[in-house]
Amino acid sequence: MTETVDLLQQILALGKEQGLTQITLAQRAGITPEALSRAKQGGNMRVSTLKELAHVVGLKLSLVTDAPLREKIDSGTLFE
């Protein structure tokens, strides 16, 4: 699975927990249900669309460092 599909699956799972159908989620994000279905099958999706889908379920996309040692140093938890 691609990272996009992984993120999309997390968004869809949260939407389901909130009682949103995939059709409703797609409509609220401004895309067609067919576009959402294609993305679920591993198709490409614009970051802006993924961001809007996340917003619909109360999530926010953001970048985080992939350097766990640096994170621990910065947070002061290196020796915990």
Among residues of the chain, what percentage have pLDDT more than 70? 99
Per-residue pLDDT of 35-54, as tens digits, reads 999 998 887 889 999 999 99
**DSSP letters of the chain?**
--HHHHHHHHHHHHHHHTT--HHHHHHHHTS-HHHHHHHHTT----HHHHHHHHHHTT-------S-HHHHHHHHT-TT-
In this structure, what CATH number is given to the domain that contains residue 52? 1.10.260.40
Name the more confident of 27 and 62.
27
Report pLDDT for 1.
55
- pLDDT, the chain, mean: 90
State the residue range of the domain holding 64. 1-80
DSSP state of 59: -
Q: Residue 27 has which token pair?
A: 């409509």
- What mean pLDDT do residues 55-78 have? 86
Task: Provide the number of structural domains found in the chain.
Answer: 1
